[in-house]
Amino acid sequence: MIGNELAKAPVEWETPSGRIRMLSPTDCVKDRLAKFYAWDDAQALYQALLVVASQPVNFREVERWFVKSEGQKERYRLFHNLAKKVQSRWDFDESAIVDLATDQMIKERVRRLGR
């Protein structure tokens, strides 16, 4: 389960030991975002951005799921803007993605304190 929905389309990888079933990149991003938004977990945001940097992700499906499950379109836009930054740079490395995710978490916390 990802939020209130079943994972849509598991991916299978063939290995010397047999087949491995796992979440699709899109479902993986949804799973990581659910954790990020539920618990303000910066590591989960970082993991979602790593998937975006290295795998094709269906952003329309992520948005549909997030708005339906979480009801927070504004927070989805925040993630999508970060994802576009990651995708727009060929030279984004892990440390840059960590910095981006950490900066975003700090901004979110400061914004909440200002309310």
- pLDDT single digits (tens) 54-109: 899 999 999 999 888 767 787 788 889 889 888 876 556 667 777 777 777 777 76
Among 7, 88, 79, smallest CA distance to 47 is for 79
Whole-angstrom Cα distance, residue 85 to residue 21? Answer: 30
Q: How confident is the model at residue 115 (pLDDT cuts 50, 70, 90)?
A: low
Say which residue, 6 or 111, is predicted with more confidence.
6
User: Is residue 50's pLDDT more than 80?
Assistant: yes
In the three-class reduction of DSSP (H, G, I as helix; E, B as strand; rest coil), residue 14 is classed as strand
Q: How confident is the model at residue 31 (pLDDT cuts 50, 70, 90)?
A: very high
Indicate the angle between helix axes 59-70 and 73-88, nearest 10 degrees.
Answer: 160
- Two structure tokens written together for 5: 């929905």
pLDDT of residue 113: 66
Q: Could you tell me the pTM of the whole model?
A: 0.77
